Structure 1
Amino acid sequence: MSDGNSSTLQSYVDQATGMAQRAMGAATGDSATHNQADANLQKAENEHAASHTTAKVGPFAADPNTGATAKDDPSRSNASWDQTVGSTKEAVGNMIGNESLRRAGVEQNAAGKEAEAKGQLKDWGQGIADRAQGTVGGIQAAVTGDREEEQKWRDMHDEGKVRQRGAEADMAKKGGQ
């Protein structure tokens, strides 16, 4: 793991270390070990929270910890447009009493929502795949000592993480409506 690259895995390692230190401190009565355990547990909690942080700006997601970015699947933007146009048609159809226009708006809005959900799932799945491939590739590059290749795989992992977290954030936002 690179310095400054918050990771869920690293948070688990720090949590296990902290728990072991806490047990050792309790068994020996050593307050310094107990304090170090508390520091590691706090660090683990912070890393875990940071690894789930993603900022969304339009069709982009970014990880403020690593600087990695990922662009949403283009179908998601088109789907958002279809929802907006569909809602407008529905509202105008209601306002002027045109049932055909209202119905067309409802259908276009529903099609947009379906396409957006499919795009979110595609981004989420691609993010998971990129994270896994980046992790495996990074391990292979680390074993061979190729630092440039290792960085390429780390970048792929980080972009996948951002893509996955961005899709999860959008799905959670839509689920809360």
Structure 2
Amino acid sequence: MSANNNNNNNNNNNPSTLKSYVDSATGAVQNALGNIVGTPGDQAEGKAKQQRAQAEYDASHTAAKLPGMTVSSEGVAKDHPDRSAGSWNQTAGAAKEFVGGLVGNESLKQSGREQNLSGQEQEARGQVKDYTSGVGDRVSGAVGSAVAGLTGDRAKQAEYQNKHDAGKTQQRGAELDIQKQAEARQ
């Protein structure tokens, strides 16, 4: 029983975007009621709850991108192979394009340009696959965990929660790369 309680406590302590939204709304209502009724304690508690909700939201979106993987508070997710291969093709293509331009070899330059573009497309496909797979795992993990919780199957609940968490990490990794690429284009 102790292991199940620890597992549930660990899952309940994971940062949650949904929980941050609920807490933020609750804090806003409490703050508003404090303003209407004139109770500074409720106002302060409402503002504090909103600040905690923002911290929860920020934590739920925190992930670190490492070569070939993403690490978050929920775990580690390996990138789709197309992401790494695409990145490599971009690098090799850019090098060919540079060398071709440097030595005046138009064929090598064009070949490098094509390889670079192909690598960009390949990496984008991998990002989309990781993003959609992550969202799917989050949804099926959340639903499965809820059903298992209702039926009292703690082992299945933990299994589905792990699937949710891995999906969240995978989704966040794709989001980080997509955001980084969008910022680089600006």
TM range (shorter): over 0.9
Q: More displaced, 14-23 or 116-125? A: 14-23
Counterpart AA for 2:37: T
Aligned partner of 2:64 among 32, 47, 55: 55
Aligned partner of 2:17 among 8, 11, 36: 8
TM normalised by structure 2 equals: 0.89
Q: How many residues align?
A: 175
Offset, 1:156:
0.7
Offset, 1:20:
2.1
Offset, 1:146:
1.3
**Cα separation, 1, equivalents of 2:150 and 2:18:** 19
Matched ranges for 1:1-177 at <5 A: 2-63=11-72, 65-66=73-74, 68-177=75-184
**Cα separation, 2, equivalents of 1:76 and 1:93:** 25
Give per-residue Cα distances to partners, 1:59-93, cap 9 Å, x unaligned.
11011x33x11110011111111111111111111
Query: Could you say what secondary structure the match of 1:56 adopts?
Result: strand
**Cα separation, 2, equivalents of 1:102 and 1:28:** 72
**Cα separation, 1, equivalents of 2:28 and 2:97:** 57
Percent identical among aligned pairs is: 45
Counterpart AA for 1:132: V
Counterpart AA for 2:107: S
Which protein has the bigger helix share?
2
Structure 2: segments with no counterpart, 5+ residues: 1-7
**Cα separation, 1, equivalents of 2:113 and 2:36:** 66
Query: Could you say what secondary structure the match of 1:69 adopts?
Result: strand
TM normalised by structure 1 equals: 0.94
**Cα separation, 2, equivalents of 1:30 and 1:97:** 76
Counterpart AA for 2:86: A
Offset, 1:127:
0.8
**Cα separation, 2, equivalents of 1:38 and 1:176:** 32
Structure 1: segments with no counterpart, 5+ residues: none
2:4 counterpart residue number:
none
Offset, 1:27:
3.0
